[in-house]
């Protein structure tokens, strides 16, 4: 079987497995699935930039929040139809990404991390500053009408899951197609050795800019979907914690693997849940586990899989 075929089967298999899990898991866990899948979309966006292009952003909460507020404010403040508001949200995220990308890509490495972190903080403070409109930390809740898309009521558990699954599957298969494409391979070349890529004639600045736009837009879609499915928009999602989370998810799950973001989100979700049942000091347990994983599986769980017999994992 060719590697490409294995990869197709693998990606289709993951989607099928998620459907099977939804029907077989106890209701509580099945309910968690929608949230996990939406957060995985956010992480997949992050992975395009960090895992495949090698650019470490510490400010992705800005784009998650841009998608979330772009959608939330378009439906609640401007009273736009849900579908149209999603388009507005995507456009808004792309605009923010273009501005931040244009400026941040003048820097490299640590400076890039700091600049993206600062932009995200500026975004967070902007939301607080216009608290009268954005409702700041308190946030605002979306109504059932605002959460109905194409006649589907997304306040219902079942529709919520299917919507999250469709979005996840599209992003998952889309990322797989991207990394196999000419563009995706050029991004990997930049991650591996930017100077060599440039001296092969690749326009590395333009490629990195494209990666920023794709990554941020996908993360923004995650933010918009979060608001749509769970009905809440708040400044918490723009805090630095939400910039660190996708980094941790992707690192744990396996940076530069398509499955990594999902594994990372599931792992962290249940690690925190399990450890908070054991002790109040759950972050201590989570921290120790994270340290152990970084020590013994530095390429993340997906990276370990790739090393141990699944070489074809994209």
Partner 1 sequence: MTLLETRGLTKTFDGIKANTNVDFKLETGQIMALIGPNGAGKSTFVGMLCGRIPATSGQVFFNGKDISALPAHKRIALGMAYTFQITSVFGNLSVRENVALAVRRAGHLPEKQVQAKVDAVLERINLAERSEQIAGDLSYGHQRVLEIAMGLAQDPQLFILDEPTQGLAEAEISEFVALIKSLAGKTTILLIEHNMDVVMRSAEQITVLDAGGIIASGTPDEIRENAAVKSAYLGTNNAEG
- Per CB under 8 A, 188 contacts partner 1: yes
Q: How many CB atoms lie within 10 A of CB 139?
A: 18
Do the beta carbons of residue 220 and residue 41 sit within 8 Å? Answer: no
Please give the size of the binding site for partner 1, defined by CB under 8 A.
17
Q: How many CB atoms lie within 10 A of CB 180?
A: 15
Q: Which of 192, 241, 288, 292 binds partner 1 (CB under 8 A)?
A: 192
Query: Please, which residue, 3 or 273, has the CB nearer to partner 1?
Result: 3
Which range binds partner 1 by CB under 8 A, 20-28, 78-86, 135-143, 178-186? 178-186
Query: Please, which residue, 53 or 121, has the CB nearer to partner 1?
Result: 53
Query: Please, which residue, 1 or 132, has the CB nearer to partner 1?
Result: 1
Task: Classify residue 149 as left (phi > 0), alpha (psi -120 to 50) or beta.
Answer: beta
- Per CB under 8 A, 185 contacts partner 1: yes
Q: Which of 128, 203, 279, 292 binds partner 1 (CB under 8 A)?
A: 203
Query: Please, which residue, 135 or 191, has the CB nearer to partner 1?
Result: 191
Structure tokens at 309: 């017999």
Instruction: Say which residues have a Cβ less than 8 Å from residue 56's Cβ, sequence separation at least 6.
Output: 50, 109, 112, 113, 247
Do the beta carbons of residue 217 and residue 17 sit within 8 Å? Answer: no
Q: Which of 53, 93, 171, 204 binds partner 1 (CB under 8 A)?
A: 204
- Per CB under 8 A, 108 contacts partner 1: no
- Per CB under 8 A, 177 contacts partner 1: no
Q: Which of 61, 74, 189, 216 binds partner 1 (CB under 8 A)?
A: 189
- Per CB under 8 A, 197 contacts partner 1: yes
Whole-number Å distance between alpha carbons of 45 and 56: 12
Q: Compute the radius of gyration of the chain from its Cα atoms.
A: 19
- Per CB under 8 A, 309 contacts partner 1: no
Whole-number Å distance between alpha carbons of 314 and 310: 9
Instruction: Say which residues have a Cβ less than 8 Å from residue 2's Cβ, sequence separation at least 6.
Output: none
CB of 157 to partner 1, least distance (A): 43
Which range binds partner 1 by CB under 8 A, 11-19, 64-72, 75-83, 186-194? 186-194
Query: Please, which residue, 138 or 203, has the CB nearer to partner 1?
Result: 203
- Per CB under 8 A, 201 contacts partner 1: yes
Q: Are strands 152-153 and 148-149 parallel, antiparallel or unpaired?
A: antiparallel
CB of 19 to partner 1, least distance (A): 32
Which range binds partner 1 by CB under 8 A, 32-40, 65-73, 154-162, 200-208? 200-208
One-letter-per-residue 3-state SS of 234-272:
CHHHHCCHHHHHHHHHHHHHCCCCCCHHHHHHHHHHHHH
CA 76 vs. chain centroid, Å, equals 24
Q: Which residues bind partner 1 (CB under 8 A)?
A: 182, 185-186, 188-189, 192-193, 195-204
């Amino acid at each position: 079987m060719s590697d490409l075929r294995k990869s197709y089967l693998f990606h289709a298999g993951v989607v099928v497995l998620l459907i099977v899990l939804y029907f077989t898991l106890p209701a509580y866990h099945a309910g968690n699935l929608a949230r996990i899948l939406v957060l995985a979309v956010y992480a997949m966006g992050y992975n395009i930039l960090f895992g495949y292009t090698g650019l470490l952003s510490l400010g992705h909460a800005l784009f998650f929040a841009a998608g979330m507020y772009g959608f939330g404010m378009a439906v609640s403040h401007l009273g736009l139809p849900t579908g149209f508001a999603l388009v507005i949200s995507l456009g808004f995220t792309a605009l923010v990404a273009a501005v931040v990308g244009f400026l941040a890509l003048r820097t490299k490495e640590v400076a890039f991390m700091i600049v993206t972190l600062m932009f995200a903080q500026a975004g967070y403070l902007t939301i607080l500053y216009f608290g009268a409109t954005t409702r700041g930390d308190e946030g605002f809740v979306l109504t059932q009408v605002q959460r109905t898309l194409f006649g589907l009521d997304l306040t219902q558990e079942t529709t919520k899951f299917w919507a999250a699954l469709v979005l996840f599957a599209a992003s998952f298969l889309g990322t797989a197609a991207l990394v196999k494409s000419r563009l995706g391979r050029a991004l990997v070349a930049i991650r591996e050795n930017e100077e060599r890529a440039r001296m092969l004639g690749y326009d590395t600045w333009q490629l990195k800019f494209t990666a920023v736009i794709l990554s941020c837009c996908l993360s923004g879609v995650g933010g918009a979907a979060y608001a749509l499915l769970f009905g809440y928009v708040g400044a918490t999602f723009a805090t630095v914690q939400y910039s660190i989370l996708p980094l941790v998810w992707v690192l744990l799950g396996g940076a530069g693997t398509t499955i990594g973001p999902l594994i990372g989100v599931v792992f962290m979700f249940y690690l925190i849940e399990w450890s908070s049942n054991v002790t109040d000091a759950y972050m201590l347990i989570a921290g120790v586990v994270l340290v152990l994983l970084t020590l013994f599986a530095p390429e993340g769980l997906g990276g370990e899989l790739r090393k141990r017999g699944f070489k074809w994992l994209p």
